Amino acid sequence: MVRLEDAPEFTDACFDDLARKHLRDIIAELEERVSSLQSTIDSLEKDRPHWARGYTSDGVAAQVMMVALNGLWDLLGASNQTEAMGKLRELVGGERIAA
């Protein structure tokens, strides 16, 4: 019968192999988790309005959108969306403009 004390190099090698296998399993599990989280992020990003995509939050996207709209409204001499749409219709000769 072989005792553990009689074969320390054998046990060290076994423990090293077990440790490597355990680390590979942990890494594989973490990679799978990262992939799953990335899929979740991608799905959530697709559910956001198109104008909010790429921004860190809907709030930041909304602020950027409002700054852009205010710039357009200033160019048109309008103070709100309804007034801006009316001025755009005047500019294009009353053609239908999708709201």
5 band by pLDDT with thresholds 50, 70 and 90: low
Rounded (10°) angle between helices 58-76 and 81-91:
50
Domain extents in the chain: 1-47, 50-99
Q: Which residue has the higher pLDDT, 32 or 14?
A: 32
pLDDT at 67: 85
Average pLDDT estimate for 10-23:
75
Distance from chain centroid for Cα 60: 14
Question: How many whole angstroms from its chain centre is CA 94?
Answer: 40
Q: 9-13, 48-52, 91-95: which has the highest mean pLDDT?
A: 91-95
How big, in percent rounded to 5, are the helix, strand and coil portions of the chain?
A: 75, 0, 25
Q: What is the pLDDT of residue 98?
A: 60
In this prediction, residue 11 carries a pLDDT of 60
Q: Report residue 95's pLDDT band, with 50, 70 and 90 as the boundaries.
A: low
In 48-57, alpha helices (H)? none
Integer Cα distance of 19 and 12 in angstroms: 10
Could you tell me if 57 and 44 are in contact, meaning their C-beta atoms sit under 8 angstroms apart? no
CB atoms under 10 Å from CB of 51, counted, come to 13
Q: Which of 8-12, 18-22, 65-69, 85-89 has the lowest mean pLDDT?
A: 8-12
